[in-house]
Amino acid sequence: MTSSVALCTYNGETYIAEQLDSILSQTLPVSEIIVCDDQSSDGTVKILKNYSEKHPNLIKVYENSENLGYVGNFEKAMSLCTGDIVFLCDQDDRWYPHKNEYITRLFKNEKQINIICHNIKLFGEPVNSTDEITYWDLDTNGPDQFTGPQDVIKRILFQGNIFPGMSMAIRNTFLKEHLPLQKINPVIIHDYELLLLAADKNSVQTDTAILGEYRIHPKQSIGFNTFSKLKASEKPPITREALFSVFRRNTFVKETISNLQLSPSLKDGYKEYCLQYYKDYMKSLSPLKRLIAGIKMKYYFHIFDYLK
């Protein structure tokens, strides 16, 4: 199977060489590296052209005539990929040498799978821990807990995406079927949209192998504010604010199901999820506080109206 890398850059001169070197060091070489630069104003393009001159048959650099933004730039890069497998790639991370070989083998063996997500290690100065932390370590309901066919779609739709693009590989036939992206709202970016569509058809596979490193730094588009403040031992508490957030998300869930034409049964599934969260919250209270909270929730806050 052939493999393409969809690499997007924007003012990434600090780390882009390190990322490209990690891709060029694969035990199974990738077939092409498609780079789309979104009008960088630093030395990124110069670095890219130097690499392209050294590897003219492998690295193709495209300079956008206008700034497309994060999602638009990835959409363009993905559309230009010709390999059987497409890896999404940020400018500031690092691949482990066996990533392409490992993922290619999985796709060869799993014909029905359209997206494979692997685990990644977090690194960078803001990661406030002396322990090795992976992306999935920070999630209390992550892939290690998945046992049923709908676990992936329920997790990423009900609670939010836990699979960053740089940990994803996509079968190109599936990818091209879903381009251009629907972009139904700003929250559901390119990788999230594709994951939802594939997970709805039970064609997402998660693998515990750590195949790369996710860099945490202040200038990254997504991740810094979330991961620079977390430790692997931390677990989110069940609070009243968290409860309201879960109930309010029902509108988002319903609209996503409708706009992406996901399984209608997920609507009832989310209501069940909300009610279970409510029960867990009430159990965390003392009997007296539970009685008062129950009355307030129903008659003062009207929390159940969010499920209509």
Q: What are the structural domain ranges in the chain?
A: 3-227, 240-307
Give percent of the chain with pLDDT exceeding 90. Answer: 83
Name the CATH topology of 3-227.
Spore Coat Polysaccharide Biosynthesis Protein SpsA; Chain A (3.90.550)
**Model pTM above 0.85:** yes
CB of 4 closer than 8 Å to CB of 30? yes
The residue whose two tokens read 């929730």 is 297
- The per-residue DSSP string of 219-272 comes to T-SSSHHHHTT--TT------HHHHHHHHHHHHHHHHHHHHTT--THHHHHHHH
Q: Are 7 and 33 in contact (CB under 8 A)?
A: yes
pLDDT of the residue at 221? 46
Q: Poorest-confidence range of 29-38, 87-96, 136-145, 259-268?
A: 136-145
Distance, CA of 255 to CA of 87 (rounded, Å): 29
Average pLDDT value for residue range 184-203: 97
For the chain, what's the residue count? 308
pLDDT tens profile 100-131: 999 999 999 999 999 999 999 998 765 555 56
Q: What is the mean pLDDT of the chain?
A: 91
For residues 303 and 46, what is the distance between their CA atoms, to the nearest angstrom?
Answer: 55
pLDDT band, very low/low/confident/very high, at 234 (cuts 50, 70, 90): low
Q: Is the pLDDT of residue 220 over 60?
A: no
Rounded Cα gap, residues 268 and 5, in angstroms:
38
Residue with tokens 């409860």: 243
| pLDDT given at position 126 | 54
